[in-house]
């Protein structure tokens, strides 16, 4: 038993001292029979243990972009951008056709309401003054009480903004309305 533990300890030290590259090519060093004595006097069947000597050549194994598993090639997955963690942005065009009550439910109460017949203009400001959203409501029919959103405009400190900045402004206003 002591002999077996000694061999195991030596093999573990040997494996710990060798690098992966050294173990890739193994050359048999010697083969010896492995025997133990038992209390009954009967010898167990002989087992052969093969010792290996590590190849000292310093050949560099090139890394490949594909890995072969079960005779099929799988490409390594490319690093994905933070698509999974990004929140879905709402488009400001979703406001078109809504009435003032629905806009207030989504964006909170307006900072300014201005009447310029026939339009009603509502101004929504972000808490940190990132941008200001102007919503223009026009009467749907001849009655002045039933107005719907027909036009949206956003401005920051530099002036009028459009495109992705408009979408970011709109989503920032929605987030600030939810937390206020």
Q: Give the pLDDT score at 46.
A: 65
User: What does pLDDT average to over the chain?
Assistant: 69
Question: Given this model, what pLDDT does residue 113 score?
Answer: 93
User: Are the C-beta atoms of 120 and 100 separated by less than 8 Å?
Assistant: yes
pLDDT (tens digit, 9 = 90+) per residue, 11-32? 666 666 655 445 555 555 555 5
Among residues 136, 132, 127, 174, the alpha carbon closest in space to that of 157 is found at 132
Indicate whether 7 pLDDT > 90: no
Q: Is the pLDDT of residue 78 over 80?
A: no
Please state, in angstroms and rounded to a whole number, the distance separating the CA atoms of residues 11 and 29.
14
pTM across the whole model: 0.47
Please state the length of the chain. 180
Per-residue model confidence as pLDDT tens digits over 91-123 = 777 888 888 888 888 888 888 999 988 889 998
Residues 122-128: contacts with CB under 8 Å, at least 24 apart: 124/173, 126/169, 126/172, 126/173, 126/176, 127/176, 127/180
């Amino acid at each position: 038993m002591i002999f077996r533990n000694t061999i195991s300890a030596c093999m573990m030290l040997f494996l710990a001292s060798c690098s992966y590259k050294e173990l890739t090519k193994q050359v048999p060093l010697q083969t010896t029979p492995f025997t133990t004595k038992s209390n009954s006097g009967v010898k167990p069947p002989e087992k052969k243990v093969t010792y290996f000597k590590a190849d000292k050549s310093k050949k560099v194994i090139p890394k490949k972009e594909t890995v072969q598993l079960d005779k099929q090639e799988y490409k390594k997955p490319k690093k994905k951008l933070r698509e999974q963690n990004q929140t879905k942005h709402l488009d400001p065009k979703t406001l078109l056709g809504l009435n003032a009550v629905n806009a207030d439910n989504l964006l909170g109460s307006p900072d300014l309401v201005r009447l310029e017949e026939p339009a009603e203009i509502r101004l929504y400001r972000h808490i940190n003054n990132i941008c200001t959203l102007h919503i223009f409501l026009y009467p749907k029919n001849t009655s002045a009480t039933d107005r719907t959103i027909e036009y949206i405009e956003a401005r920051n400190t530099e002036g009028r903004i459009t495109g992705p900045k408009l979408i970011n402004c709109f989503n920032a206003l929605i987030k600030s309305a939810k937390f206020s």
